[in-house]
Amino acid sequence: MESEIRGLLETMGATLVGVVPVNLREPSPRFLTGSGKTQEILELAQTAKADVIVIDRELSPTQQRNWENASGLAVIDRHEVILEIFAQRAQTREAVLQVALARLQYSLPRLTRKWTELSQQRGGSMRTRGAGETQLELDRRKILSRIEAIKRELAEVQKHRRVIRKSRRENLMTTAAIVGYTNAGKSTLLRQLTRAQVLVEDKLFATLDPVTRRYQPASGQDLLLTDTVGFVSRLPHQLVDAFRSTLEESLEADFLIHVVDVSDPNIDEHLEVVESVLADLGRSEVPRLLVLNKIDRLPEHAKNLLEFRFPEAVFTSLTAGVGLNDLDAGLLRMMQRTRVVLEFSIPLDRSDLVRLLHHQSTILAEDYRHDTVVIRALCPTALKGKLQHFLLHQEDA
């Protein structure tokens, strides 16, 4: 999608001075593109006085080196563009470490881009290098050492996150993860529902770190909403690997809220990208609420077609505050799907369990007897295991 790479370059801060569309039938091992298109790109870069050539595909280290030798310019591929954006956007220590890890893993096979005299041998001391070790070998060893150090630091950060996640599970609160293509309106949804002070920008990858906030829909039961990093087609595997723990943590939710920008002409491609990433994370079967956002930018007939195509979806314009009541009802409907109607007999001296049911469930009936209280409630499924000893009956929600 040409519009996607344009958006990525704009977010990176680059100025586009020319585009050469390429119908890539059979990739060339030397440049990826054929000789004719390669020459056309080189001539356009020279005429436009470009500083950088961007190839909207992944280049092998050899192809990248061939491009730079032929053009005399810096040449970056799609993966390097996205890595640069992530580096610019990283704010928390965890995100900074994750991006640094991805960049080091990307650069490792491309070390020859950084040195012009790699064949020259250097004598060395026994402490730092073997006799005659090349500069390339030195730098490779440094990068591998740095990768291991970052992995160790990330493990400590993620250990802390696991403690927080465990605490949330023990509280038995219903959780939902907001997912979608980058810049679809996920952070806006979180801010509209919870009034959270989160960054909202009309740029790709405005959010890298999961942000979790509490929301109380019309049912009165709390819901934890987590904003997630936006998805994009052909997300570099280094970033997927580096951010996997963050993505998996935020997607360990009872259900997903999939936000889609319906004003984008590539809506079908965006839907496919999100489904592909969810499948890669093993979350394809998680229940989800589809939120079709920016509906105010469409003519009425286009909206009618979407309503026919997605009858279960919620239609919103989050920046304008349109459709929030429907969204609230949709969230309540999803919460009910993740819950079960249970009936408990609680001893009167266990008022802590009665409070727990009132806090975490929707009370349907409450009957105080001689030494017990019988409570029928719509509960999170996890509550069944915690109160199994007091369970009288279960029925469909």
Q: How many residues does the chain have?
A: 397
Indicate the pLDDT class of residue 133, thresholds 50, 70 and 90.
low
Where is average pLDDT lowest: 117-121, 179-183, 317-321? Answer: 117-121
Contacts of 200 (CB under 8 A, 6+ apart): 187, 188, 191, 206
Contacts of 268 (CB under 8 A, 6+ apart): none
Helices (H), 51-122: 61-71, 78-89, 93-107
Question: Phi/psi of residue 376, each to 5°?
Answer: -110, 125
Instruction: Give per-residue pLDDT as tens, 250-302.
Output: 667 889 999 999 998 889 988 988 888 888 777 778 889 999 999 999 999 99
Report the alpha-carbon distance of residue 263 to residue 314 in Å, rounded. 15
pLDDT of residue 87: 82
Indicate the pLDDT class of residue 125, thresholds 50, 70 and 90.
very low
pTM, two decimals, is 0.70
pLDDT tops 60 at residue 199: no
Question: Phi/psi of residue 17, each to 5°?
Answer: -110, -5
Report the alpha-carbon distance of residue 202 to residue 17 in Å, rounded. 22
Question: Phi/psi of residue 141, each to 5°?
Answer: -65, -40
Is 301 in contact with 172 (CB distance < 8 Å)? no
pLDDT of residue 345: 94
Instruction: Give per-residue pLDDT as tens, 57-99.
Output: 889 999 999 999 999 998 989 888 888 888 887 777 877 888 8
Strongest mean pLDDT among 118-127, 165-174, 196-205: 165-174
Give the side-chain half-sphere CA count within 13 A for 266.
Answer: 17
Give DSSP secondary structure letters for 85-98.
HHHHH--SHHHHHH
Report the alpha-carbon distance of residue 90 to residue 70 in Å, rounded. 34
pLDDT of residue 45: 92
Instruction: Give per-residue pLDDT as tens, 350-373.
Output: 999 998 888 778 788 999 988 999
Where is average pLDDT lowest: 7-21, 217-231, 319-333? Answer: 217-231
Adjacent-strand bridge partners of 362: 378
> Does residue 179 sit in helix, strand or coil?
strand
Cα-based distances in Å from 101 to 74, 134, 160, 240, 281: 22, 24, 19, 11, 19
- Closest by CA position to 244, among listed 272, 278, 211: 278
